[in-house]
Structure formats: C-alpha cells, structure tokens
Amino acid sequence: MAVQNSALNNQKSNNSEENPIQQDIKIEFIKSDKNKSANNNFTQNSSPEKIKQNIEDINKMKLDYIEKQYIEQRSDDIKLNTDIDLQVLKNQYGKDNQSQNTAESVESTSQEKTEEKGNTNYEPKVILTPEDFYKGRRVLIDAGPTYEKIDDVRFIGNYSSGKMGFALAEEASKLGAEVVLVAGPVHLDTPKNVYRVNVTSADEMHSEVFKYLAEASIIILAAAVADFTPAVKHEGKLKKEITGEKLIIELVKTKDILSDVGKAKTKEQRLIGFALEADNMIENAKSKLERKNCDMIVANKANQVDSGFGGDNNTITLINKENILKEFPPMTKHQCALEILKEITRL
C-alpha cells in the first residue's frame, strides 16, 4: 500500500536547536552537528567500505536515541503498545540487519539516491507515526447491529452496542483521519469530527457502505450485521389472534457486506473485518479472512467476560494475511481500537 511520507515534527531544545535525529528505513542517515564529519564523508566520492562503516556507526547511535526518546515522545499523545514499536525499530536498525548492508548494496543505494536527490541535498525517508499515517486519510467504518423488520413493532436483531466501532471512529479521528461512520441503531453520541450516517437494516448498511467505499483507503467493518432477514415484512402489527399458536417466519440471507467489499476493493485499499466466534475462534477467523479477501481480521470470543458485545472492554486477536497472530489481554475498547489502528499502518 502506498504510504505518503511526511516529515516528523522537529522538537526544539532549550537552545532552540533542531532535533538531531531523522529516521530512515532505506538508508540510516543522521543529520546533526555531532556527525558533520560523518555526513561529509557520506558523499558520492566515498568508497563503499567507508559508507558502510559510517552507516554502522550511525545505526548504533540511532538505537541509543530510539531507546531513550521514542517512548516518551509518543506516550503522552497516544496510549499504544510502544514495546512492539520499539522492537520493530530495533530490528530495523539492529546489528543483525547491519550485516546485510554489503559494500555493493550500499554503493548501489548511494548512487540511486544521488541521482534522485543530489547527494548533498538528500532528505531521508521517515518512519511514519500513527498520526503521520492517518492524517488526511479517508477511513470508512461501520458499527452496531442491524434490525430486520418483522412488522411495525417487532424485528430480528442482536446484542451489539456499537461501542467497538465507535471507539475506532473516535480514535481514528483523533489521529487525523477523515472518518465516515455508518451506524446501525445504537444509542451512542457521534465522536467529534466524525461524519455519521444512520441506518437500520442490513440492506441499508450495505448501500451506505458502498456509497462511500470508493473514497476510502481503509475500510473497517465492525458492525454485527444480521445474517438473515424476514422474506415478508408485514405492515402494522401481527396479531396472535390471527397467527394462532405458532408464527412461522421465512428468513432469507442478507447481503454479505464484508464479502462484497472484499470483491470490490482495490489493491491500494485495506479491508479489516471482525470475527466474533463461540468456538474454534482462530481457525474460523483465518477462514473468514481468506474467504472475504480481508487484509486483517480482528477475532474475539462470544460468551466470554471482557469480550464481544455490550461491555466497555474487549479481548482481541489480530490476524493478517501472513497468518501472524497478535494476542492481547483484556483492554478497554478504546485501547483495542488504538492497537487495531496501529497494526493497520503495517499492512
């Protein structure tokens, strides 16, 4: 998925000097007063061996900087599982990966960057924070249950409160995303800066999701959509004096929103689905991910404390296309939302 890079905000010290560290996945390159001599050697005329040594020195300093600064820079703004991020960064800049920077690959990369940017003016790429990733992106989310009409006073529904989907909408908006929230019949306030569309039935939710699908780069389908709807929807109220001792209602399948979006999405779009399972949670979630063409599935268990419908907490497992599982302990649904949104940046 193409990700637009944006510069990290410069943090100023008491003497108003610029932050000396800029992070770069492709070429580990530091721009600071301390390392002017190293940077001056990072030129087109330097030998591959010299460049490689400079990169290894720079990587070591980056590791020190990451360990001391990364967590405290972001912990006040977003309460995320920063240990995972720190390990990812360590893996990117660690000694094991340094060994892969052979003289030949360093020379080739240096020449490519020199041709593109000019060696002395080259600005390295940055590792995007969640705020950088989501800023200005269109995120489409559905949430809550659907009600399938039997008559004017009865319906088929489920126990979904919509809290998980609303938490995702709120946290994505806080990260700078442009959020469209297609909400079933729930009693929740609309999160700030979120555009909300209210629906009742599965058919209405399907129509509204597809109305906004083309403009979204990330689609998170968290709604508990009814699988079946009455074949005949009666006007007025069905009277038991008329129906007798038994009322038989014929049900037909509803439109499968997740499956239809999976078929319609582009290569650039990312689709995240939910799997609420009573048994064989991991196996069923993996199967759903593949069948519905999702990029990630959020699995959780029904009939378990701090999981599923209704409450303020959830217990989730994230599964991506590579079948990599990330299991989390019980957390608030807002904390779950942040972990889900953070994992999406890696898809």
Residues annotated as part of the active site:
158
Smallest CA-to-CA distance from 123 within 26, 51, 4, 36 is with 26
Can you tell me whether residue 339 is helix, strand or coil?
helix
Q: Which two tokens stand for residue 56?
A: 């290894």
DSSP character string of 236-267: S---HHHHTT-----EEEPP-HHHHHHHH--S
- C-alpha torsion 174→175→176→179, nearest 10: -70
β 325-327/317-320 pair status: antiparallel
Q: What pairs with residue 253 in β-bridges?
A: 228
Residue type, 140: L
End-to-end distance of the chain based on CA atoms, in angstroms?
Answer: 7
In sign, the C-alpha dihedral spanning 176, 211, 273, 254 is: positive
Q: Which two tokens stand for residue 334?
A: 């807002």
Q: Read off the DSSP letter of residue 283.
A: H
Q: Which two tokens stand for residue 21?
A: 């560290």
Q: How far apart are CA 45 and CA 300, in angstroms?
A: 56
C-alpha 236 chain-centroid distance: 44
